[in-house]
Amino acid sequence: MKNQSTPTWLALVVMLGWTLAQTARGSTVFWGSSFNDLLFTSTGQALDESFIFEVGTFTSGFLPTIHNSDQWDANWKVLDRAVHPDSEGWNVAEQFFVGTVEHQPDGTSDSLAANPADVFLMGETVYLWVYNSKAIVPGSEWALVTDSDLLGNLANAWRIPDPGDPVGTSYDWQLLDADTAILGGVNGIQGAGEFSVNPGTFSLQTHVVPEPGSSLMVLLSLALGVQGRRHRPQRRIE
């Protein structure tokens, strides 16, 4: 008489393996912009194939500002990236970018653009960094934007989700919910950086990246000028 238990055990092993594989998937994050969006350079031209779109966070304790832009790259953690051609997420002809990434149970990203050692902790602020070069040289243009007002979002808040979310959980980070521009412009709001054309209506605009410390030097020189006027000796009138 043949033993009929082997196929049953085999089926259980296969089912257990499938279950573990599903559990290890983590939550899915969709991110991007709308079709035929208004994406411009500092001169008002449509963004071209040289631009790269990255979503990510900064290392704990680092707050990006216009004054420390030369330190952004060293503190940046890439969660996912979209580039030209459209099969890689950046559709130049129809002016939109999209990405899909898994936030895994250990807090890492499954994106090929991510550093496997980078962990994205629940609640970290998510930024979108758009650039044609990360080098701060003539011709470089950036936009660094985020979502600060979390109550009025049409999609999900730009925050790293709980890595312990149930299987099948998904999130959607959309450009239309961005409301803060550290550098560049977003949804009609202009931030730091230099531009020669203000489109008026726009979803995103990159700005020329100031040289490291240049804006700080301007503020310092203004402060010194004010200080000098305060201490300037007055002429005595006799």
**What is the secondary structure of 26-58 as a DSSP string?**
-EEEEEE--TT--EE-TTSPBP-TT-EEEEEEE
Is 14 within the bounds of a domain? no
What mean pLDDT, rounded, does the chain reach? 86
DSSP E strand boundaries for 68-213: 76-82, 90-91, 96-103, 127-131, 141-146, 170-174, 180-183, 185-186, 189-190, 204-205, 207-208
- Name which residue leads in pLDDT, 238 or 56: 56
Is 236 within the bounds of a domain? no
Is 4 within the bounds of a domain? no
Rounded Cα gap, residues 56 and 80, in angstroms: 7
Is 17 within the bounds of a domain? no
Is 156 within the bounds of a domain? yes
Out of 11-25, 117-131, 134-148, least confident range: 11-25
Tens digit of each residue's pLDDT (9 = 90 or more) over 187-212? 999 999 999 999 999 999 999 999 87
Residue 93 predicted with pLDDT over 90: yes
Is 155 within the bounds of a domain? yes
Residue pair 110/104 in contact by the 8 Å Cβ criterion: yes
Residue pair 207/189 in contact by the 8 Å Cβ criterion: no
> What are the structure tokens assigned to 210, written together?
């100031």
Q: What is the pTM of this model?
A: 0.81
Which positions ≥6 away from 12 have C-beta within 8 Å?
none
Rounded Cα gap, residues 155 and 57, in angstroms: 19
Is 115 within the bounds of a domain? yes
Is 119 within the bounds of a domain? yes
Instruction: Indicate the residue type of 233.
Output: P
Confidence bin at 237 (pLDDT 50/70/90): very low
Domain count, the chain: 1
CA distances from 83 to 86, 90, 99 (A): 7, 5, 10
pLDDT recorded at residue 25: 56
What is the residue range of 116's domain? 28-230
